Amino acid sequence: MSATQCLRDEHQNILKALVCFDVALGKARTGKIVTKDVFGPFIEFFQRYADHCHHAKEEDCLFPCIDACYSDEMKRQMQVLLDEHVRARQLVKLMTENLDEADAGDPFATTIFLDQAQNYRDLIIGHIGGEDFRLFILADQTITGDELRNLNIAYQEMIEQEEQKTIVTESEAFLERMLSQYGSSPSEC
């Protein structure tokens, strides 16, 4: 039982989506064409799976545990990551706000969309690295005993919510489609 394993597993799904997203961005940059058909599903995945499911587990379960019990260093790292969650939401909002106009061929909206999409991709890749290779290592080393049991119970309660189950099922289907469309494995995307 780990304090962060379920979050690390979700990171792998997010990274798979980002690899495929990067391929779609490359094609869009080459043709200067952004369409809702291509990018709408990615935005939905980022909003629902990455933010609503994954970031919610961090913000509602892991981070309060860290905030209540652990070192100032862990708390500083946690605050940086929380700030990155806010920035990620802002970038997704900017992509969403520009998607319709980009889809209609507006070159300004297309440029904004592509720039913010690249910023989102870069932010999340760095963010996952910060969590997996710094904060999560510390959390796994220090959250033990009753705190660990309570944390895993909180994760499980979130996972068992019907809305969460639906989002996970739909997100897994999305990932299968994207991997099929952009490559059979993340390394091929």
pLDDT at 164 over 90: yes
pLDDT at 184: 57
pLDDT at 182 over 60: yes
* Entry pTM: 0.94
pLDDT at 188: 46
pLDDT at 74: 82
| Angstrom distance (rounded) from CA 94 to CA 113 | 7
Domain residue spans of the chain: 5-188
pLDDT at 185: 56
| Interval 168-179 mean pLDDT | 96
pLDDT at 42: 98
pLDDT digits (tens, 9 = 90+) for 51-60: 999 999 999 9
Q: What percent of the chain clears pLDDT 70, i.e. is strictly above it?
A: 97
Positive or negative CA dihedral for 47, 53, 58, 60?
positive
Positive or negative CA dihedral for 153, 156, 160, 164?
positive
User: Which range has the worst mean pLDDT, 61-70, 83-92, 125-134?
Assistant: 61-70
Residue 119 contacts residue 90 (beta carbons within 8 Å): no
* Assigned CATH topology for domain 5-188: Four Helix Bundle (Hemerythrin (Met), subunit A) (1.20.120)
pLDDT at 189: 44
Number of helices followed by number of strands (H, E) in the chain = 9, 0
Using CA atoms, how far residue 113 sits from 49, 99, 103, 109, 179, in Å, is 20, 7, 10, 6, 23
Q: What percent of the chain clears pLDDT 90, i.e. is strictly above it?
A: 87
pLDDT digits (tens, 9 = 90+) for 42-52: 999 999 999 99
| Interval 149-168 mean pLDDT | 96
Mean pLDDT, all residues of the chain? 94
